[in-house]
């Protein structure tokens, strides 16, 4: 029953893929240090910043993945849709990002990352 309710109320169009990796984030011309991806999908990603972010609601994110026989670099502009402390009293901030204006090459690179990560996850289960 819980699974059915979750599907009914889940507004996401795309499945989130767990992906724990370091990323680069720039907001208001400032590079954010200690940024990590928690999960990703075709529409956006959840990230954790090691510091409180600037008040800007937009920025750019870079993700690089080195797979056997393939190196993928993904870059995208984003808009912040939510932000909250990772834990109560923590300096770390979780943020939900929506990718903006992806061109075909960006979508292709993102699709490749998602497929590769799904395959890796399936092989570990």
| Residue 65 neighbours by CB distance under 10 Å | 16
Alpha carbons within 13 angstroms on the beta-carbon side of residue 17 total 20
Question: Does domain 16-124 match CATH 1.20.120.140?
Answer: no
Q: Which residue has the higher pLDDT, 45 or 11?
A: 45
Using one digit for the tens of pLDDT, what is the confidence trace for 108-120? Answer: 999 999 999 999 8
> Rounded to an integer, what distance in angstroms lies between the CA atom of residue 1 and that of residue 87?
29
pTM: 0.83
**Residue 76: predicted pLDDT:** 97
pLDDT at 2 over 80: no
Query: What pLDDT does 10 receive?
Result: 52
pLDDT tops 90 at residue 28? no
């Amino acid at each position: 029953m819980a699974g059915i309710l979750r599907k009914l109320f889940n507004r996401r169009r795309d499945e989130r893929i767990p992906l724990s990796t370091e990323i680069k984030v720039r907001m208001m011309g400032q590079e954010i240090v200690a940024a990590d991806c928690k999960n990703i999908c075709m529409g956006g990603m959840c990230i954790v910043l090691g510091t409180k972010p600037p008040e800007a609601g937009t920025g750019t994110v870079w993700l690089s993945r080195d797979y056997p026989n393939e190196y993928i670099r993904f870059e995208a502009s984003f808009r912040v849709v939510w932000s909250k402390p990772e834990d109560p009293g923590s300096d770390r901030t979780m943020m939900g990002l929506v990718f903006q204006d992806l061109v075909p090459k960006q979508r292709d690179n993102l699709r490749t990352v998602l497929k590769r990560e799904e395959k890796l996850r399936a092989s570990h289960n």
